Structure 1
């Protein structure tokens, strides 16, 4: 297992790109560790090593993921986000404890939050929808990335028309959150839900726009027709 981790790190270091390194510096407010590897290159590396580990026991794969997270490097977190959804057929309800711990302990920026939650958590919630109550509890966390995770874990299901009421419920719980990354997270969730439920999301936005931060509102209405956008953005409140 140590050999696999060492080889992954060697491949990432050798794939570093100066332009990508500059982009990392621009895109993040937080202090993060990174090699400077483009996402497609990270995915290629992750998929190559997946062929070596896919027959391992799930807990052994989880241990490898934990080792990658411990480094603090963004690209190593992306490897986890590539591997974890490949285990979807082996998910069990008890895995929520692992996923919760990873998010609360190792997620330190929007990119690693979204990469993990969109697919790993999205797949998990589709299999075990009773854990939406868990997401609702995350909205009360003191960790802003847990709060963002509560929203972005429903992004992919919402895009496909699922969990409308639950998405609105989570948006309601995060409605006045002071962190812009949380506002953008639930605004994005509403935007994806609006693909199949435009009228319902528009009604919600109009009802809440007096207290909804403008950042979240702009995200929520991004896909709506021009007239709806104009109506939602009117400064008559």
Structure 2
């Protein structure tokens, strides 16, 4: 079994050796939220994640989650990304017991849309594919004062929705978030409806039409992106008052 302190040291050395100050500065301006990146580019980061996963995957589930807690606690953007990617790979071993940890990270660690989406889509969403009954545990997120939990409540269903699953729940999420005032949450549920429309275009259209007067424009435009052009025109014609 690998030594977690040695694994963490080797990972951090690898990240620092691949840090690019120019990319770091560009990353800071890309997000509205304040982030602490090292400046590791995506290609190099993915290689680092894969290299050190060979050791991380041998850890017992509890030790892997504890190691990922340390990565989140560092506040370094790339380290949180590693935690998300490793947990997504480890889902069959982690099982449903990991749900509470993912929920805690969303509530207390996540502070930008990229980590929110990575954690909620690949980790929480992956658990929902394995344990469909867990979807009810995400419903309280939709009324949380925490914007990241509300967005996660939509984004965690995107991968299943893309394959035509959980349509009733998709519409429940969109209804609960319909009047949300946060732009990132609006984009989140609009994105969810868009993905659901891959498998259920007519049903998504019929959901949107009676609500298009209440849906914020940004959510509406996301939601209809994959619909046929004539349907999109129909939706964008605001109903007469």
Q: Please tell me the TM-score bracket, short chain as reference.
A: over 0.9
Tell me the CA shift for residue 18 of structure 1. Answer: 4.0
Taking the aligned partners of 1:210 and 1:19, their CA distance within structure 2 comes to: 44
TM superposition outliers: structure 1 runs of 4+ over 3 Å: none
Report how many aligned residue pairs link the two structures: 237
Tell me the CA shift for residue 233 of structure 1. Answer: 1.1
Match of 1:226 in 2: 229
Residues 169-195 of structure 1: CA distance to partner in whole angstroms, max 9, x if unpaired?
111111111100100111101100000
- In the alignment, does 2:179 pair up with 1:176? yes
**Residues 187, 218 of structure 1: 8 Å contact kept:** yes
- In the alignment, does 2:64 pair up with 1:49? no
Taking the aligned partners of 1:16 and 1:94, their CA distance within structure 2 comes to: 34
Match of 1:94 in 2: 97
Tell me the CA shift for residue 60 of structure 1. Answer: 0.4
SS in 2 for 1:142: coil
Match of 2:163 in 1: 160
Taking the aligned partners of 1:32 and 1:20, their CA distance within structure 2 comes to: 13
**The one of 149, 153, 157 aligned to 1:150:** 153
Residues 86-136 of structure 1: CA distance to partner in whole angstroms, max 9, x if unpaired?
112123333221111111111111000111111111110112212211111
Where does the alignment leave 5 or more consecutive residues of structure 1 unmatched? none
Match of 1:115 in 2: 118
Tell me the CA shift for residue 137 of structure 1. Answer: 0.8
Taking the aligned partners of 2:16 and 2:170, their CA distance within structure 1 comes to: 39
Taking the aligned partners of 1:177 and 1:199, their CA distance within structure 2 comes to: 24
